[in-house]
A and B are shown apart, each in its own frame.
Chain A
Amino acid sequence: MTEQVLHPPWQTIERQRIAMQFGMWTFLASEVLFFGAIFFFYTVARIYGGAGFIAGAHETELLYGTINTALLVTSSLTMTIGERAVGAGFATLARRMFAVTIALGIAFLAVKGWEYWSDITKHLVPGPGFKLDRVRGASQFWSFYWVVTVIHAGHLTIGLGAIARLLLIPRDLLARRATTAEGTSLYWHLVDVVWLFLYAMIYLAGRP
């Protein structure tokens, strides 16, 4: 393990690390509540929307959702290897893994953009001209879809910025910033965890 920088007021590296984890998890707990409320809307809409809600879910593109899930899970792997490489002092490996993570994140957004284009051309945006406007509950599903996927993409974009920031740290100083890498990694993994549930709720829900 490479020597890290000790910032005030912490007296030991271990204490500093726990403080970072505690602070980050406090933020992530607030994110759990944030997404929990949105997921709660899904539950209520699914209970009361019935077959119409599921009919809406049936219109989603399972292939795009599955590709994006594989991309995000792979990015979690590369982020983990990168973060652990930082802690062990392998700066070159860490920087490569962070670059691959960014590439996978951008690929996710590209697939999502492609999927959005497909959804728009199929008139799956609630409002005037909505394809399923006569199916009760379908617009609730698609409202959920647009809101939650855009919010998720926003979180992912913030994560990309945080990882890019790690790449701006000079190679010889990176090993001393292991807590920064760990905090960024925690955030990135939460974006992945949220998507794992969204995959089941959005893409798998409508399969007969």
Chain B
Amino acid sequence: MTRDERAAIIVRPLRIFAGLIALLVASFAYANLAGAPLKPMVNLSLAAAAASLVLLLFMQLKEAAGIVRMCAIIGVTWATFLWLFALADFFTR
């Protein structure tokens, strides 16, 4: 295995993994911090950050063809429509 191959196959995934573990530790620590503000938002933001690392780097959406990225975005877009329309009443009262 050459140095470049080792970097692509092992080292880069290990760096992403380190980031994911750091986010997990941060989530665990913040959730256990008694009385910490905005816990639901912080918890979900950290989860979204970890999910973004997996989606963009492990699943390689960052380097994917445009049509593949479009397909991935459409799933989230339609789910967002579901939430926006269904919760419109709650948010506008």
Contacts and interface: CB of A to CB of B under 8 A. Distances in A.
- Are A and B co-members of a single complex? yes
B82 A29 contact: no
B10 A204 contact: no
A73 B24 contact: yes
Contact of A74 (B1, B17, B35, B47): B17
B79 interface: yes
Contact of B71 (A26, A44, A77, A90): A26
A207 B47 contact: no
A33 interface: yes
A179 interface: no
Interface stretch (A107-115, A129-137, A154-162, A193-201): A193-201
A193 B51 contact: yes
Contacts, number: 126
Interface string B36-67: 00011001101110110011001100001101
A21 B64 contact: yes
B87 A33 contact: no
Contacts of A148: none
B75 A32 contact: yes
A203 B24 CA distance: 12
Interface in A169-208: 185-186, 189-190, 192-193, 196-197, 199-201, 203-205, 207-208
Contacts of A201: 44
Contact of A204 (B9, B43, B50, B71): B43
A76 B54 contact: yes
A41 B90 CA distance: 14
Contacts of A203: 31
A200 B72 contact: no
A207 B82 contact: no
Given A33-B78, A66-B24, A76-B58, A43 B87 contact: yes
Interface residues of A, number: 49
Nearest to B55: A193
Contacts of A85: 9
B76 A69 contact: no
A22 B72 CA distance: 9
Given A77-B13, A81-B9, A204-B28, 20 more contacts: A29-B71, A30-B75, A32-B79, A33-B82, A62-B31, A66-B28, A70-B21, A74-B17, A76-B58, A80-B58, A81-B10, A93-B9, A189-B54, A193-B54, A196-B51, A197-B48, A199-B47, A200-B46, A204-B31, A208-B35
Interface of B: 1, 5, 8-10, 13-14, 16-17, 20-21, 24, 27-28, 31-32, 34-35, 39-40, 43-44, 46-48, 50-51, 54-55, 58-59, 64-65, 67-68, 71-72, 74-76, 78-79, 82-83, 86-87, 90
